[in-house]
Amino acid sequence: MTETQTEVRGDSGPATAQLVASRVLDVPDFPQPGVMFKDLMPLFADGAVFREVIDGIVDYHGRDSFDVVVGIEARGFVIAAAIAYATGVGVVPVRKAGKLPRPAYAASYALEYGEATLEVHQDAFTAGHRVLVVDDVLATGGTAAATLDLVERAGGQIAGFTVLLELAFLSGRERLAPRPVHALLTV
Ligand SMILES: O=P(O)(O)OC[C@H]1O[C@H](OP(=O)(O)OP(=O)(O)O)[C@H](O)[C@@H]1O
Ligand SMILES: Nc1ncnc2[nH]cnc12
């Protein structure tokens, strides 16, 4: 296989996977030695590609399949806000510890390069509201597992979980099973 024929795959098909792959930069040894950081800032910075990606996520789940969208700090906020605006639903942030001003549920977890605690306001969701959760990267799945638990503790019902990029070798998808994962690009 030549360099231009590199195989790409994702849950929305090879064209979408290729689109995402074209806007990811590999940054070695960030934020610590041994980690190959996947930087999706070029995708966010390209208006046409960003719009196509957001529209693709909405089409995949169906415009009427969720009542609210959750973004995980920090890069998930960018994606969630765009989906919310495109569909007319509200956006709820899941934040790193200590940032939310009112009573919150908290969940601690490990990720590829450290540990963290996430929080969501206790009154963030109307009971039974269907929640689409989005983030940029799925690695070990620690962040996503903590978020999905927080959403349910706060009374939300998970309608779907989407990431732009899945690092398959870190087995996040297996960790989240049987919950479905929608990844636009899997590497
Ligand atoms: O699957 P995991 O191993 O849990 O890793 C995935 C998480 O790691 C990154 O966030 P990070 O914690 O670096 O936060 P940031 O978006 O604020 O930079 C990424 O945006 C995901 O949220
Ligand atoms: N390698 C990586 N690149 C970007 N975000 C990440 N989150 C966890 N691991 C990551």
| Confidence band for 1, pLDDT divided at 50, 70 and 90 | very low
Instruction: Answer yes or no: is pLDDT of 64 > 90.
Output: yes
Rounded to two decimals, the ipTM of the complex is 0.97
State the pTM of this model: 0.96
Amino acid letter for position 166: E
Pick among 3.40.50.2020, 1.20.120.420, 3.30.465.10, 3.40.710.10: CATH of 3-186: 3.40.50.2020
Tens-place pLDDT, residues 70-113: 999 999 999 999 999 999 999 999 999 999 999 999 999 988 78
Report whether 171 contacts 143 (CB < 8 A): no
Find the 128 Cα to ligand 2 centroid distance in Å. 31
Structure tokens at 67: 């009542």
The domain ranges of the chain are 3-186
Find the 164 Cα to ligand 2 centroid distance in Å. 12
* Cβ 40 under 6 angstroms from ligand 2: no
Atom 2 of ligand 2 has which residue's CA nearest to it?
Answer: 37
* Cβ 173 under 6 angstroms from ligand 2: no
Q: How far apart, in whole angstroms, are the C-alpha atoms of residue 24 and residue 6?
A: 14
Report whether 143 contacts 73 (CB < 8 A): no
Give the pLDDT of residue 187: 98
The strands making up 104-111's β-sheet, listed across from edge to edge, are 104-111, 114-121, 90-96, 68-72, 130-138, 157-166, 182-186
Give the pLDDT of residue 6: 62
Q: Quick check: is 112 catalytic?
A: yes
Cα-based distances in Å from 91 to 36, 55, 66, 83, 118: 30, 16, 11, 9, 16
Amino acid letter for position 44: F
Which residues form the pocket of ligand 1, taking CB atoms under 6 Å from any ligand atom? 72-75, 111-112, 116, 135-144, 172
* Cβ 35 under 6 angstroms from ligand 2: yes
Q: What is the percent of the chain with per-residue pLDDT over 70, rounded to a whole number?
A: 97
Q: Quick check: is 115 catalytic?
A: no
Tens-place pLDDT, residues 144-185: 999 999 999 999 999 999 999 999 999 999 999 999 999 999
* Cβ 146 under 6 angstroms from ligand 2: no
Active-site residue, selected from the candidate residues 23, 95, 112, 166: 112
Q: Which helix (DSSP H) or strand (DSSP E) does residue 44 occupy? A: helix 41-45
* Cβ 25 under 6 angstroms from ligand 2: no
